[in-house]
Amino acid sequence: MRTEEAQLPLRYRTPADWARSVLQRPLELLNDHAHLEKKAAANALELLNRWPEPNPPENWVAAMTAVARDEVEHLSTVCRLLARRGGRLTKQHGNPYASALRGLVRQGHGPAELVDRLMVSALIEARSCERFKLLGEACEEDPELRKLYRGLWASEHGHYRTFIQLAEQIQPTHAVEKRWDEMLDAEAEIIEAQPTGARMHSGA
Ligand SMILES: [Fe+2]
Ligand SMILES: [Fe+2]
């Protein structure tokens, strides 16, 4: 197992065939990807607003601002690549994977809700990392895409760590660990149940 795989706690392993299959429709995949970057930027700004009272983690605003800035940069990179290859960002976009994850959030439960929101964000980042790695390996003949996916791996992995570290500052360690364990199981079921298609979080 490579180091970067060892760092991801995910409980469903995407088969390598998934990447070869989604790369058959690269414009569709890039469009889906661009929407995810846009949503990740908006999500970071929304979380910024939700800082926990009365004692928010010291780095809350700085961390969320940094994530939002990274995501906007990713969005711009992906959109540029999409346009150069003759594609166009669509107006509509659905993401049943993220919607299902958001359904796990304990709404109206104060710190527990915030921890859940951070964990959902962390799970999406971690799953994206796993997928970027597979995509990078599957597009050896396309240096531009390979560079994109490899570069994003590192950035999204940093975001995954950031969200988990913030969650650890909001509730006691045992509560965070227990919830993370439940979330990892739930995510594995959700990703495995996704329909196939040229999307970052599709089923295999
Ligand atoms: Fe991103
Ligand atoms: Fe990210």
Instruction: Kindly give the distance from the C-alpha atom of residue 142 to the centroid of ligand 2, in angstroms, as a whole number.
Output: 23
Q: Which two tokens stand for residue 55?
A: 């004692």
* CA of 38, nearest ligand number: 1
Instruction: Kindly give the distance from the C-alpha atom of residue 161 to the centroid of ligand 2, in angstroms, as a whole number.
Output: 10
CA terminus-to-terminus distance, the chain? 21
Instruction: Kindly give the distance from the C-alpha atom of residue 195 to the centroid of ligand 1, in angstroms, as a whole number.
Output: 22
Q: How many residues does the chain have?
A: 204
* CA of 37, nearest ligand number: 1
Ligand 2 (single-atom ion) residues, CB below 5 Å: 40, 125, 156, 159
Alpha carbon separation from 5 to 1, 12, 146 (Å, rounded): 6, 12, 18
* CA of 200, nearest ligand number: 1
Instruction: Kindly give the distance from the C-alpha atom of residue 133 to the centroid of ligand 1, in angstroms, as a whole number.
Output: 14
Instruction: Kindly give the distance from the C-alpha atom of residue 109 to the centroid of ligand 2, in angstroms, as a whole number.
Output: 25
Task: With 0.85 as the threshold, say if the pTM is over it.
Answer: yes
The structure tokens 């995501």 sit at 71
Nearest to 165 by CA among 60, 15, 71: 60
Question: What is the predicted pLDDT for the residue at 3?
Answer: 47
Q: Rounded to whole angstroms, how far apart are CA atoms 150 and 17? A: 18
Question: What is the predicted pLDDT for the residue at 7?
Answer: 75
* CA of 63, nearest ligand number: 2
Instruction: Kindly give the distance from the C-alpha atom of residue 40 to the centroid of ligand 2, in angstroms, as a whole number.
Output: 6
Torsion of CA 153, 157, 159, 161, to 10 degrees: 180
Three-state secondary structure readout of 110-146: CHHHHHHHHHHHHHHHHHHHHHHHHHHHHCCCCHHHH
- The C-alpha R_g of the chain, in whole angstroms, comes to 17
Each of the 204 residues of the chain gets a pLDDT tens digit; together they read 344 555 799 999 999 999 999 999 999 999 999 999 999 999 999 999 998 888 889 999 999 999 999 999 999 999 999 999 999 999 999 999 999 999 999 999 999 999 999 999 999 999 999 999 999 999 989 999 999 999 999 999 999 999 999 999 999 999 999 999 999 999 999 999 999 999 999 999
Sign for the pseudo-dihedral over CA of 86, 92, 94, 95 = positive
Q: Rounded to whole angstroms, how far apart are CA atoms 40 and 19? A: 22
